[in-house]
Amino acid sequence: MRIPLSIVVALTFLLAAGVSLVAASFAVTAVEENSEIAVRRTLDEQGHAWAEVQADGLRVIVSGTAKDEATRFNALSVIGGEVDPSRVIDQMKITPTADLAAPRFSAEILRNDSGVSIIGLIPSSVDRDAIIRALRDLDKAHKVTDLLEMADYPKPSGWDDAMSYAMAALRVLPRSKVSVSAGRVAVIAISDSRAQKEKLEQELTKMAPPSLRIGLDIAAPRPVITPFTLRFILDETGPHFDACSAQDDTAKKRILNAAHAAGLEGNAECTVGMGVPSPNWARASELSIQALSELKMGSVTISDADITLIAAQGTDPALFDRVIGELETALPDVFALHPVLPEPETKDSIGPPEFTATRSPEGLVQLRGRLGDENLRRMVDSYAKAAFGSSSVYTATRLTPDLPSEWPVRVLAGLEVLSFLKNGALTVTPDKVSLRGVSEQKDAKSEIARHLSEKLGEAQNYALSITYQAPPEPLDKDIAPEECEARIADIQSRAKIAFEPGSATIATESLKTVDLIAEVLKVCGPIRMEIQGHTDSQGRATMNQQLSQSRAQSVLNELRARRILTSSYGAVGYGETQPIGDNDTEEGREENRRITFRYIRPADLEETETTLDAIAEQPEGAVDGAPATPASQDTKPAEDNAPETAGEDQ
């Protein structure tokens, strides 16, 4: 049978196609295997064993989970070095990241004469407009600079208390920087005087809630001293200062060292202030004190650039001339020296003219002695009545002609400084103004010395004997917080606050102790106080902490029932974490079961950074350096027979 040619041709083409298909299949398989092997080997060598590779024809499918986007990108780059990137099918995934932690919220508020500005990051749930309105109320004459950013995270615990306290602080601090974070506020401010600094510190401490950590750094400017005065005396009682001024701590140290070298013993006050007449003040003071030391007795007074050195009566004239000559040569420019060597007394000399004024502790003033004319007598009488009160002055002076020309100035200056004293006596003679008495101002002696140096002028001699007497405390004055804390500790040292076994009920016999503590707290004022509860280690730590918290709260409730203002008090349970005795003995466990009262002091900012970053690093939950409130967790391993509740002897 003969096969037609057309069929033979068709069969030939079919056979060729089949052979081609088989060859192509083998070729594709070889390409797949080679690509897959090459990619796998390279990924393993580059540390990407986590990646899975599968070849599908000319395509290379890569799967697996990379730890981050950078690792995934690096794997793709490695694969691209082996095969054409267009052939790569990327099915890799990235490990899901954990939920992002909330940022540390903080704000910094600056207030000065130019207005108020605020910068920082705050939660979006905070009423930003309310903050800006409150800041605008502080200074309505200037615009508030708002540089706040907001983040959509929950508001941290303690944020509201911190911001409320910051606003309250800014109301009383016109020049300040307040840094706010959750549970903590740091205040840096400038006051007008040392007295205002102390008042502000007390006020800011009292207004802070007990749960808030606060740091206060309030600076008081150096006082302006006019005139700049130093007065050093060597007499029968020994060396001493009537007044001492210095422009800085270095000058103060130099002056005091010179005084100690001249025989001064113990500590001496030297006021650091502004107004120094020359940068060489310390050098002039040193030289003057050394010169007086060589003369053995006398006084030296420096008022601005005028130096008056008065030797004691009977000083050797040759010694006086030598010392004065050396001092004049060594003194820095600007300073002018006025030396005085008193004339020796003669046997036939009669007493010098004298004016006296005395002020009694009751405030009565008597004026006696000599005045030059009727006009001066009326002037002195009027001045005294204006200074001490019309009904308190009794005048019994007599007129004497030929008094020294500077007599009126000396009398009036003396009366003015007499008003600095609670009681005392003034004596004016031609060669000296003497004042002695008692003052309730600590720096009265220095102030009087400056005043007399300014009023009497150069080469004038005066003597001061001023005793400081603290003014009586007001009857309604609150006692100091430290004293309050000490009194309560003393009460508890005699009779502690005890509780019914295993409960937060105060024992009946301990209610008298609570009464005594309440009486103390009534005169303590609104101080920040933490009532701390402590237990022994019997039972589970969790239950002990809860029991100590309940007991501290019970004491706080009892104080409220006794009408004690407790808005600035807090109750914190510390459980068994702060033992003071040995928990292995009954005596030690009894010591550990206690209630303590702790005055919460402001933190010291001298060693604390107050930038936003530094505040963000502060741990949350601490109170003025005290440990955070203990968490209600079991902090010690449970023993096989540990009870589930606090022991009956707690």
Identify whether the C-beta of residue 241 lies closer than 8 Å to the C-beta of residue 289.
no
Angle between helices 407-418 and 374-388 (to 10 degrees): 10
Please write the tens of the pLDDT for every residue from 370-422: 999 999 999 999 999 999 999 999 998 988 888 988 999 999 999 999 999 99
Residue 252, CA distances (Å) to 225, 269, 437 in order: 14, 9, 28
Assign 645 to helix, strand or coil. Answer: coil
Give the whole-number percent of the chain exceeding pLDDT 70: 85
Please write the tens of the pLDDT for every residue from 11-63: 666 666 655 555 545 445 555 667 778 888 888 888 888 888 888 777 888 88
Burial of 11 (0-12, 13-18, 19+ CB in 10 A): exposed
Assign 598 to helix, strand or coil. Answer: strand
Residue 564, CA distances (Å) to 164, 376, 494, 504, 524 in order: 24, 61, 22, 20, 10
Burial of 474 (0-12, 13-18, 19+ CB in 10 A): exposed
CB count in 10 Å sphere of residue 356: 17
Q: Which of 557, 618, 534 is closest to 184 using CA atoms?
A: 618
Identify whether the C-beta of residue 287 lies closer than 8 Å to the C-beta of residue 328.
no
Q: What are phi and psi of 435, to 5 degrees?
A: -135, 130
Identify whether the C-beta of residue 270 lies closer than 8 Å to the C-beta of residue 245.
yes
pTM, 2 dp: 0.56
Angle between helices 128-138 and 159-172 (to 10 degrees): 10
Give the Cα separation of 426 and 545 in Å (integer).
Answer: 68
Beta strands in 42-160 (DSSP E): 52-56, 59-66, 88-94, 106-112, 115-123, 144-151
Give the Cα separation of 304 and 97 in Å (integer).
Answer: 73
Please write the tens of the pLDDT for every residue from 328-364: 999 999 999 999 998 776 555 456 789 999 999 889 9
Higher per-residue confidence, 517 vs 29: 517
